[in-house]
Homo-oligomer: A and B are copies of this chain.
């Protein structure tokens, strides 16, 4: 197959783009900024969905589905949210095409089929959902309302990259309504915690939980919680956000409830989401110059078995051994592929599965048959060993766990090595330039300083970490008092 993958050290961004395409994850489409998610990439997204969906249900949420379109008058009801998304909205203005009288065989928009009110293709669903919630909430008995939606959304981004930023993307958006402020804040934190747990446990991607500064907050939120991860090139990636929305949407859509005491009060809201961007984060967290490295818990194929043979008789002998192994692995819930295609050579297959990040690869040839062994290779370290057939299932089970742990630890060590505390702006710029990663520094809490740093260095405040204790210091730019260090980075 010949990978010819650009090295990360040469051009990280080019490496990423090539890898996504060569590993059959996704490709650009004929629609500006929209991608096609190919079966191999989609299988990873499906595995992510299955785990997240289970976690949402375990925390009491139910799925529902709301319209793709938002009438303009609803879209503009919550002013800040509308402002935040107005500049990147796909707008439906007509509902019919007709034959173009000037161009035989071509179609044009039918000028007589103009909508009275334009429809915005949802960039996020707060507006349409809160307009619906109005009918669902009358009394405290109807609360909390814990709803999730799996959907596609569209944001007309100017610069797009496969998985990381696309005009259309797939995501889930949770939307909840609560009787009290405290309960809503708790929900927003809980779901941010669920995201963190998912990222670390399944994606093997360490994340920092924090809150966003005002300028980085979701349009319409009072507080935005987030999980931030560090990519191998030293840039940060926002992997999920969870918003406490206060009563902004309840007021915009007049959603009130009768308390136990019979008073009418506005409900309190949250929303939270993760998207196919996670697939990009997964790729960038672990993969190497040979291709993808996937965590076993999300790998579409966990084990691949490649036969090395000459002639049909050798293949038959190998198949006889491999058949029962495949059956046994499947019974244990391990996804396994026996690649007995006669159209490709073993070397080609080795390359392909390395590129596609299959965690464990078994090879079996004539000598293995004679010795009763398999050659077992792990994708993360590329280490190989010869394993007796009797031990191979246990070995595979061990490796799937060990690879999951190992790539997490590697990513975690890298992240820890790349959080640098600095106390001066000079040092800040030097570290940002020479080392990258997260920079932990004091900031005076003003938009102005944040903006100045962003303009001068391209670094933004990724978050105010939840786990960091308060400890006074002086802002690296203005010298004013700061109660706590915050994390800066250049970001995706």
Contact = CB atoms under 8 A, between A and B. Distances in A.
Interface of A: 27, 29-31, 34-39, 42-43, 45-46, 62-72, 74-76, 79, 82, 86-99, 105-109, 118-121, 128, 131-132, 135, 141, 147, 151-152, 154, 156, 168, 170, 343
A132 B72 contact: no
Nearest to A343: B141
A94 B95 contact: no
Given A66-B36, A119-B90, A95 B43 contact: no
A117 to B, nearest CB: 9
Contact of A68 (B76, B95, B120, B152): B152
Contacts of A128: 29-31
Given A67-B34, A68-B34, A152-B152, A95 B89 contact: yes
24 contacts: A27-B132, A30-B67, A30-B128, A30-B132, A31-B67, A31-B69, A34-B68, A36-B64, A36-B66, A36-B132, A39-B62, A43-B63, A68-B154, A69-B90, A72-B97, A75-B107, A76-B107, A88-B95, A90-B94, A90-B95, A91-B92, A92-B93, A93-B93, A96-B156
A43 to B, nearest CB: 7
A298 B134 CA distance: 29
A97 B93 contact: no
Contacts of A105: 76, 79
Nearest to A153: B68
Contacts of A135: 27
Contact of A69 (B74, B94, B168): B168
Contact of A91 (B29, B31, B95, B152): B95
Contact of A62 (B43, B99, B106, B121): B43
Contacts of A107: 72, 75-76, 82, 86
B64 A39 contact: yes
A34 B82 CA distance: 22
B29 A42 contact: no
B168 A67 contact: yes
A94 B70 CA distance: 15
Contacts of A76: 105-107
A203 B156 CA distance: 40
B131 A170 contact: no
Copies in the complex: 2
Q: Which of A74, A87, A141 has the most CB of B within 10 A?
A: A87
Contact of A92 (B30, B35, B45, B90): B90
Given A27-B135, A76-B105, A97-B120, A46 B66 contact: no
A29 B147 CA distance: 16
Q: Report, nearest first, the 4 A-B pairs whose CB atoms are least far apart.
A: A39-B62, A34-B67, A37-B65, A86-B97
Contacts of A108: 72
Given A37-B65, A68-B34, A107-B82, A96 B92 contact: no
A267 to B, nearest CB: 18
B95 A93 contact: no
Contacts of A64: 36-39, 42
Contacts of A99: 86
A89 B92 CA distance: 10
Contacts of A38: 64
A96 B89 contact: yes
Contacts of A147: 39
B31 A119 contact: yes
B34 A63 contact: no
Contact of A30 (B46, B82, B131, B168): B131
A70 B62 CA distance: 32
Nearest to A92: B90
Nearest to A107: B76
A67 B34 CA distance: 6
A107 B88 CA distance: 13
A128 to B, nearest CB: 7
A68 B168 contact: yes
Nearest to A39: B62
A456 to B, nearest CB: 29
A27 B119 CA distance: 19
A253 B151 CA distance: 29
A45 B62 CA distance: 13
